[in-house]
Amino acid sequence: MEAKKWGLVLGIITIAAAFTRILHILEAPEVQHALLGEFNFIIPGMLKLASSPGKDQQEKPLVILPNLTSCHESMGRSDLPVYCCPPMNQSNVAIIDFQFPDPSLPLRVRRPTHLLDDNYISKYKKAITIMKSLPDTDPRSYTRQANLHCLFCTGAYNQQGSNSPLNIHRSWLFFPWHRMLIYFHERILGSLIGDDTFALPFWPWDIPEGMVIPEMYMKAPFFHEARDFSHFPPSVVDLDYSCPTPSSEDYGCFESGLGPEDQVHTNLAMMYNQMVAGAKKMELFMGCPYKAGRGGLAMGLAP
Ligand X SMILES: *[C@@H]1O[C@H](CO)[C@@H](O)[C@H](O)[C@H]1NC(C)=O
| Residues near ligand X, by CB under 6 A | 67, 69-70, 89, 92, 160-161
Nearest distance in Å: CB 156, ligand X? 12
Coil, strand or helix: which one is 246? coil
Nearest distance in Å: CB 69, ligand X? 5
Nearest distance in Å: CB 172, ligand X? 23
Coil, strand or helix: which one is 175? helix
Per the CB < 8 A criterion, the answer to whether 199 and 151 are in contact is: no
Residue number with CB closer to ligand X (57 or 89): 89
Residue number with CB closer to ligand X (292 or 301): 292
Residue number with CB closer to ligand X (89 or 104): 89
Per the CB < 8 A criterion, the answer to whether 288 and 281 are in contact is: no
CB atoms closer than 10 angstroms to residue 30: 9
Residue number with CB closer to ligand X (53 or 293): 293
Listed in sequence order, the residues at least 6 apart from 14 whose beta carbon sits closer than 8 Å to its beta carbon are none
Length of the chain: 303
Residue number with CB closer to ligand X (29 or 161): 161
Residue number with CB closer to ligand X (69 or 78): 69
Nearest distance in Å: CB 89, ligand X? 4
Nearest distance in Å: CB 34, ligand X? 12
Q: What is the spatial distance between Cα 10 and Cα 243, in angstroms, rounded to a whole number?
A: 8
Per the CB < 8 A criterion, the answer to whether 85 and 156 are in contact is: yes
Residue number with CB closer to ligand X (89 or 119): 89
Q: What is the spatial distance between Cα 107 and Cα 105, in angstroms, rounded to a whole number?
A: 6
Q: What is the spatial distance between Cα 16 and Cα 66, in angstroms, rounded to a whole number?
A: 23
Q: What is the spatial distance between Cα 65 and Cα 99, in angstroms, rounded to a whole number?
A: 22
Coil, strand or helix: which one is 80? strand
Q: What is the spatial distance between Cα 156 and Cα 90, in angstroms, rounded to a whole number?
A: 18
Nearest distance in Å: CB 137, ligand X? 13
Residue number with CB closer to ligand X (68 or 284): 68
Nearest distance in Å: CB 33, ligand X? 10
Cα first-last separation, the chain: 15
Buried residues in 2-17 as b, exposed as e (16+ CB within 10 A): eeebbbbbbbbbebbe
Nearest distance in Å: CB 50, ligand X? 19
Mark out the alpha helices in 100-241 (DSSP H runs). Answer: 118-133, 142-153, 174-192
